[in-house]
């Protein structure tokens, strides 16, 4: 099983533990990850120029296509952006020809051959919950975990095609197989606040704090994430406050621990 690993911009610079734990877990499970020099997924240009955003995304897809690989990303926002670009390219022939014209300058082309997958979906659907369960060596029995889905893996469901957007179960299934207990929390599907941090910091903080308080009052000991933006925001909001705090753990770290991988290899 081979994938081109699309880390995006945030993970290598701000959250290298996510790259390390993703590589460690997937290598352990027999998935080969290849590194191509991708560019930005296109998200920062989404509200500036549609063509520029789609071009950036399509260039990544074209690079994977040329290498004969599908893309695998641990970032919910990169996942959503790349899936959006595929949707727009599929529904707009004029856009498709403009983008392919621009890509042709580098000898690249987008045909739709390369698929985009999020790490959670790869684990749950491609490798499978049963296979993962039987690989668990050190179950995290008793740990109460709040699953932080991340908006762009789920919604819009027509674009993301990830799970039931109103009542998803994939993250809970993945938590359960590690021996931990997923908690039910009302703000599970809410935005973490990160996209607003630049534009409206006070509102962003308010949203993040509400999520943390909700996870705590629902009895969770740790918030489990699958997106660098969610993870950094949830951590960042707790950095300098006297409010009660809750731990954060990347799902790849939780799974890695359950698989019995050394904590150091998971960036812990």
User: Which residues of the chain form contacts with other proteins (CB under 8 A)?
Assistant: 8-10, 12-14, 37-40, 42, 44-52, 55-56, 59, 92, 94-95, 98, 102, 105-106, 151-152, 154-157, 165-166, 189-191, 193, 195-196, 198-200, 202-203, 206-207, 210
Q: How far is the CB of 101 from other proteins (least distance, A)?
A: 11
Specify the residue, 202 or 242, whose C-beta has the smaller distance to other proteins: 202
Q: How far is the CB of 106 from other proteins (least distance, A)?
A: 6
Specify the residue, 25 or 45, whose C-beta has the smaller distance to other proteins: 45
Sort 147 into a burial class: Cβ within 10 Å, 0-12 / 13-18 / 19+: buried
Nearest to 230 by CA among 86, 79, 28, 24: 79
Query: Are the C-beta atoms of 218 and 184 separated by less than 8 Å?
Result: yes
Q: How far is the CB of 240 from other proteins (least distance, A)?
A: 17
Q: How far is the CB of 260 from other proteins (least distance, A)?
A: 32
Q: How far is the CB of 189 from other proteins (least distance, A)?
A: 8
Two tokens at 46?
């989404």
Per DSSP, helices labelled H in 67-200 are 76-91, 93-104, 119-121, 129-135, 151-154, 157-160, 170-176
How many beta carbons lie within 10 A of that of residue 224, not counting itself? Answer: 29
Specify the residue, 140 or 152, whose C-beta has the smaller distance to other proteins: 152
Specify the residue, 102 or 135, whose C-beta has the smaller distance to other proteins: 102
In the chain, DSSP assigns E strands to 2-5, 32-34, 70-73, 116-118, 144-148, 181-182, 222-225, 247-250
Q: How far is the CB of 4 from other proteins (least distance, A)?
A: 15
In angstroms, the CA 104 to CA 240 distance is 49
Specify the residue, 40 or 136, whose C-beta has the smaller distance to other proteins: 40
Specify the residue, 91 or 240, whose C-beta has the smaller distance to other proteins: 91
């Amino acid at each position: 099983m081979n994938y081109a690993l699309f880390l995006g911009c945030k993970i290598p610079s701000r959250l290298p533990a996510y790259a390390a734990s993703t590589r460690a877990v997937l290598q352990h499970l027999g998935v080969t990850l290849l590194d191509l020099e991708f560019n930005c997924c296109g998200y920062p240009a989404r509200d500036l120029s549609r063509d520029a955003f789609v071009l950036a995304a399509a260039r990544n897809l074209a690079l994977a296509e040329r290498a004969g690989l599908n893309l695998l990303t641990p970032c919910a926002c990169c996942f959503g952006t790349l899936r959006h670009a595929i949707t727009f390219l599929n529904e707009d022939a004029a856009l498709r020809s403009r983008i392919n014209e621009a890509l042709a300058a580098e000898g690249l082309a987008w045909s739709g051959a390369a698929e985009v997958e999020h790490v959670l979906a790869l684990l749950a659907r491609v490798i499978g919950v049963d296979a993962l369960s039987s690989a668990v060596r050190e179950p995290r029995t008793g740990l109460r975990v709040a699953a932080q889905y991340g908006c762009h893996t789920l919604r819009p469901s027509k674009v993301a095609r990830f799970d039931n957007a109103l009542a998803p179960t994939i993250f809970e299934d993945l938590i359960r197989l590690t021996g931990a207990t997923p908690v039910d929390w009302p703000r599970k599907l809410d935005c973490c606040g990160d996209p607003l941090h630049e534009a409206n910091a006070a509102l962003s903080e308010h949203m993040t704090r509400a999520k943390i308080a909700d996870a705590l009052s629902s009895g969770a000991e740790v918030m489990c994430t699958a997106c660098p933006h969610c993870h950094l925001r949830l951590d960042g909001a707790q950095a300098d406050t006297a409010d009660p705090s809750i731990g954060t753990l990347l799902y790849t770290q939780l799974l890695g621990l359950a698989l019995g991988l050394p904590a150091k290899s998971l960036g812990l």
